[in-house]
Each structure stands twice: as structure tokens, then as C-alpha cells.
């Protein structure tokens, strides 16, 4: 995925890229692919899934949602002190359109199917019509970032904390514990993630550097969200309980945010050997958006790749874990 794009990890033009965060970007791309192994693998069609298999299947969606959170966190961390760049927005838009059109044509012709003119139009307007949800929302976030940055820079530490608390309650806490959507959408979610990382950049504190703490937060959040998902699926029997049962596995869930923030703060403090900059890591991280756009093409790739090629929903137990890991790494390097 040249990816669900994060701001390039530089402090200023000409500065060396911070490969610790570029490495995190690669990890986040792998997390998102693992998520898609589950979400596009039609696990909901699998009859007789045991709680163990359900738990294993629930681990990967949480990773993907956390990966999305991380990409936005990285962007907020660097973009809050950066000037707006229309060329960067145009690059993301053009790359999204290129992959939408090219993958559609290649896959359609490969399977000897007829090209649909309406699909061509949709791919050409991929950024505007939300063909892929992430680039559309991310570009909108980048367009408002100059105004958002001015707001964030104007806030005192105390006011900034209150601002984040309000966003956390409305974007994460209420939707998680009441399982409702009326005060949440992906755009507002990204504004919250962006602002949270901007706070880390503008108001550094010693607690942000405690790697063991944030590694623990990440692991506990991941496992906890998977257990909560299994409990919610197996324990809710009535329509009332399904509506009011907390949903920690949702894309904007509390534990998804703590997973993403925990990994972000861990890798932010991670020191790589030597100069801290790796050409291999930086090169791989630059491919993340392309990987994302290629393997999640909504019309011709997703079901074919995960359901028909890797047979995601047919796996059980450790075969499920091994297949998911193999598929994730293979897709990242092939796409």
C-alpha cells in the first residue's frame, strides 16, 4: 500500500526519513491485509465455527482497524507542523484512479469478461465516489488540515486535552459502549486520530517514551478486543441485547484506538541501529498505498483473492492462522 497514506516521516524537507515509523507503516499495511483476509473471506457464511475459531478469526479485523488508525496517527504527527501540499493530494488522487482503472481492466480482460462502461466511469471518479473509502476520506482530511492545524496550534495544553476528551467520548466511547453510529463517521474518526497524534507532537511528555508500557497497551487491546468480539457474538441472543451490547471490535472502538496509539508510541520511541534510516525499510513503506489499492479493488479482486484463492472461510484452528499469515505476506510482496 503506498498506503492508506501517511505523511512522509520527515520533520522538514530534505531531512532523513524516520525508518522507525516507516517500519510501523509496513506493519500497519500487513495488519490491514490480515484484516481483509477475515472481512473479505466470508467467515459469516461458515457454519459451526467454534469459539476458538471465532476468536482466531476476530484477531485480524482488530489489527486492520488499528492499522488504519496508525496511518492517520503518523500523518497527524508530521502534518501538524507541515505546510499544505497540493501535489501530495494530487499524487494520492491520481494513484487511486490509476489502480482503480488498471486493476479493473486487467482482471476483466484476464477472465475474458466484457468491459462495463459504467464501471470505467466509476473508476475514473474513484476519489469522488468513494470507490475505495480510505483515500477519499484521507484526501478530505488533508484538504482541511491547514485549518485544523491552526486550531490545534492555538490550543493550550489544557484546552487540547479537553478537545481530545470530547472527541474520544463522541467518536470512540459512546459508539463502543452503546453500539450506535449517530455521532460517528470515518471523517470525524480521522480528525480525532490526527488530533491525538498532533498532541503527541506539540505537547511531548515523558510517558510517551515508555516503550514497555505502550507495547503492553497494544497487546492487551488487541487480545481484549478479540475476546470482546467473541463474547458479543456468542452471548447476545435477543435483539435488545445485540443492540445494547458494547462493541469493542468496531472500526472506531476504544480498544482499536488504544491498539493503534500504543503501537504508534512504541515505534516512535524505537531506535533502529546505525543512523536510524534504512533504505530497504523506506522503499518498502513507499509501496503501501499501491498494495492497498491493488488487493482491495471492490469489484474484481477482493472476493476472488480471499474467498476463491486462499479459501479463508474454510480454514480452522492453526490452519487458519498459518494461512492468514502466508496470505498476508504474499499479498504484500506480490501486489
**Residue, of 106 and 5, whose pLDDT is higher:** 106
Structural domains in the chain (count): 1
- Enter the C-alpha cell of residue 193: 486520530
Q: Are 164 and 199 in contact (CB under 8 A)?
A: yes
- Those residues whose C-beta lies under 8 Å from the C-beta of residue 334, and which sit 6 or more positions away, are none
* More confident of the two residues 122 and 228: 122
Per-residue pLDDT tens for 262-299? 999 999 999 888 767 788 999 999 999 989 988 888 87
CA distances from 173 to 167, 183, 217 (A): 9, 11, 17
Could you tell me which of 227, 200, 216 has the C-alpha nearest to residue 70?
Answer: 200
Q: Is residue 1 part of a domain?
A: no
Provide CB contacts within 8 A for 132, sequence distance 6+.
96, 100, 126, 292, 293, 296, 298
Position 15 pLDDT exceeds 80: no
Query: Which domain, by its residues, includes 87?
Result: 19-334
pLDDT at position 3: 47
Flag whether 67 is in a domain: yes
Q: Which residue has the higher pLDDT, 5 or 188?
A: 188
317 within domain boundaries: yes
Give the span between the Cα atoms of 143 and 126, in whole angstroms. Answer: 17
- Band of residue 9 on the pLDDT scale cut at 50, 70, 90: low
Judged by average pLDDT, the poorest of 55-64, 115-124, 134-143 is: 55-64
How does residue 202 score in pLDDT terms, banded at 50, 70 and 90? very high
In this structure, is residue 89 part of a structural domain?
yes
Is residue 13 assigned to a domain? no
Q: Which of 27-31, 59-63, 172-176, 235-239 is predicted with the least confidence, judged by mean pLDDT?
A: 235-239
For range 61-71, the mean pLDDT? 91
DSSP code at position 303: I
Q: Is pLDDT at 240 greater than 80 in this prediction?
A: no
Largest CA distance in the chain: 61
Residue 25, pLDDT > 70, answer: yes
157 or 5, which is more confident? 157
pLDDT for residue 157: 95
Q: 234 with 54: CB under 8 angstroms?
A: yes
pLDDT at position 320 over 60: yes
Work out the average pLDDT over 42-48: 53
The pTM for the full model equals: 0.86
Please answer whether residues 64 and 335 qualify as being in contact, where contact means their C-beta atoms are separated by less than 8 angstroms.
no
Does residue 40 belong to any structural domain of this protein? yes
What pLDDT does residue 30 have?
A: 93
In the block, residue with C-alpha cell 501540499: 85
Residue 122 has pLDDT above 60, yes or no: yes
Query: What is the DSSP code string of 196-225?
Result: HHHHHHHS--GGGG-HHHHHHHHHHHHHHH
Q: What are phi and psi of 210, to 5 degrees?
A: -85, 90
Whole-number average pLDDT of the chain: 83
Q: What's the Rg (C-alpha) of the chain?
A: 20
Indicate the pLDDT class of residue 67, thresholds 50, 70 and 90: very high
**Which of 227, 233, 230 minimizes the C-alpha distance to 255?**
227
Arithmetic mean of pLDDT, 1-6: 46
More confident residue, 310 or 256: 256
Q: Is the pLDDT of residue 306 over 70?
A: yes
> Which position has the higher pLDDT, 247 or 241?
247
Amino acid at each position: 500500500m503506498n498506503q492508506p497514506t501517511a505523511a512522509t516521516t520527515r520533520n522538514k524537507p530534505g531531512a532523513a526519513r524516520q525508518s522507525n515509523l516507516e517500519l510501523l507503516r509496513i506493519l500497519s499495511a500487513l495488519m490491514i491485509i490480515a484484516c481483509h483476509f477475515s472481512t473479505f473471506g466470508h467467515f459469516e457464511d461458515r457454519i459451526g465455527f467454534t469459539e476458538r475459531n471465532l476468536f482466531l478469526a476476530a484477531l485480524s479485523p482488530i489489527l486492520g482497524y488499528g492499522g488504519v488508525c496508525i496511518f492517520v496517527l503518523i500523518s497527524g504527527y508530521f502534518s501538524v507542523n507541515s505546510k499544505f501540499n497540493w501535489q501530495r493530494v494530487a499524487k494520492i488522487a491520481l494513484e487511486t484512479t490509476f489502480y482503480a482503472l488498471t486493476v479493473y481492466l486487467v482482471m476483466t480482460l484476464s477472465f475474458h469478461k466484457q468491459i462495463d462502461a459504467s464501471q470505467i466511469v466509476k473508476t475514473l471518479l474513484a476519489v469522488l465516489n468513494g470507490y475505495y473509502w480510505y483515500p477519499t476520506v484521507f484526501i478530505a482530511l488533508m484538504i482541511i488540515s491547514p485549518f485544523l492545524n491552526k486550531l490545534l496550534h492555538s490550543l493550550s495544553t489544557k484546552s487540547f486535552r479537553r478537545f481530545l476528551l470530547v472527541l474520544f467520548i463522541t467518536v470512540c466511547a459512546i459508539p463502543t459502549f452503546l453500539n450506535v453510529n449517530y455521532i460517528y463517521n470515518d471523517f470525524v474518526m480521522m480528525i480525532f486520530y490526527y488530533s491525538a497524534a498532533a498532541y503527541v507532537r506539540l505537547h511531548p511528555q515523558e510517558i510517551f517514551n515508555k516503550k514497555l508500557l505502550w507495547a503492553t497497551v497494544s497487546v492487551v487491546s488487541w487480545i481484549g478486543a478479540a475476546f470482546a468480539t467473541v463474547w458479543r457474538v456468542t452471548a447476545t441472543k435477543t435483539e435488545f441485547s445485540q443492540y445494547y451490547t458494547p462493541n469493542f471490535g468496531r472500526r472506531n472502538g476504544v480498544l482499536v484506538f488504544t491498539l493503534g496509539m500504543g503501537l504508534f508510541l512504541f515505534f516512535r520511541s524505537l531506535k533502529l541501529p546505525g543512523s536510524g534510516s534504512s533504505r530497504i525499510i523506506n522503499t518498502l513503506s513507499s509501496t503501501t498505498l499501491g498494495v492497498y489499492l491493488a488487493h482491495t479493488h471492490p469489484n474484481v479482486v477482493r472476493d476472488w483473492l480471499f474467498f476463491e484463492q486462499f479459501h479463508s472461510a474454510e480454514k480452522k484452528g492453526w490452519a487458519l492462522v498459518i494461512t492468514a499469515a502466508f496470505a498476508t505476506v504474499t499479498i504484500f510482496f506480490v501486489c
